[in-house]
Amino acid sequence: MKSKNILNIMKMNKAIFLDRDGTLNVDKGGFAHRLGEFELIDGVVEGLSLLKKKFYLFIITNQSGVGLKKFTENDLKKFNGKLINELKKEKIEIKKIYYCIHKPEENCNCRKPKTKMILDAAEEFDIELKKSFMIGDKGKDVELIRNVGGRGVLVLTGHGEKFKDAECDYVAKDMLDAAKWILMQ
């Protein structure tokens, strides 16, 4: 029985959890959902290319625009598909996207910084959260990973400047800077 427990511990995976808007793709103000406005942020491909060698990559994103009727869940899925396909062209695999479509006032269990989405990913993919990181441009992104014992990196892209005083483990100029710091840990 002991050997089975040791094998389970050895199988634990490390992950990078990524916010979407303002972290991976340009957030042009409002709710990013139009395919014609899709644009990756500089440094994202380079940073994720480094991280993919040692970590599973996931996206965890609040998308209250659906709940607020700003766009549909189908619009969200199309935008996410575009993002996944653009990263695939660069040989970057996102294991899965977890998203919350609830309005902030609904007080659901999945909206960041609550932990449902990250705990679902940890269970589904055998992730060791204490060895994992979250990269995002808002305080609630780094708060999420800290709520489960991991480490958070705030990127100054997107809304990052507004949250640079958030409690996090590192403040990065962009995704490439974040990736280099994480790989030195």
Number of neighbours of residue 69 by Cβ within 10 angstroms? 8
- Structural domain includes residue 6: no
pLDDT on residue 73: 96
Q: What is the per-residue pLDDT for 12?
A: 77
Cβ atoms within 10 Å of 157's Cβ, excluding its own = 26
Indicate whether 140 belongs to any domain. Answer: yes
Domain span holding position 111? 11-184
Helices (H), the chain: 2-10, 44-51, 64-67, 73-89, 116-125, 139-147, 175-184
The amino acid at 95: K
CATH of the domain at 138: 3.40.50.1000
Residue 5, in any domain of the structure = no
Please report the pLDDT score of residue 2 as a whole number. 45
Residue 1: its pLDDT value, please? 43
- The structure's pTM equals 0.92
In a domain, 122, yes or no: yes
Please check whether residue 3 lies inside any domain of the structure: no
Determine, yes or no, domain membership for 166.
yes
- Is residue 4 domain-resident? no
- 102 assigned to some structural domain: yes
pLDDT of residue 119: 97
- For CA atoms 42, 45, 50, 55, the dihedral sign is positive
Determine the pLDDT at residue 29. 75
Give the model's pLDDT for residue 31.
86
Catalytic residue IDs: 19, 21
- Return the number of other C-beta atoms located less than 10 Å from residue 50's C-beta: 16
In the chain, how many domains are there? 1
Across the chain, which has 185 residues, the per-10-residue mean pLDDT values are 48 90 90 90 98 97 94 96 98 98 94 97 96 96 96 95 92 98 97
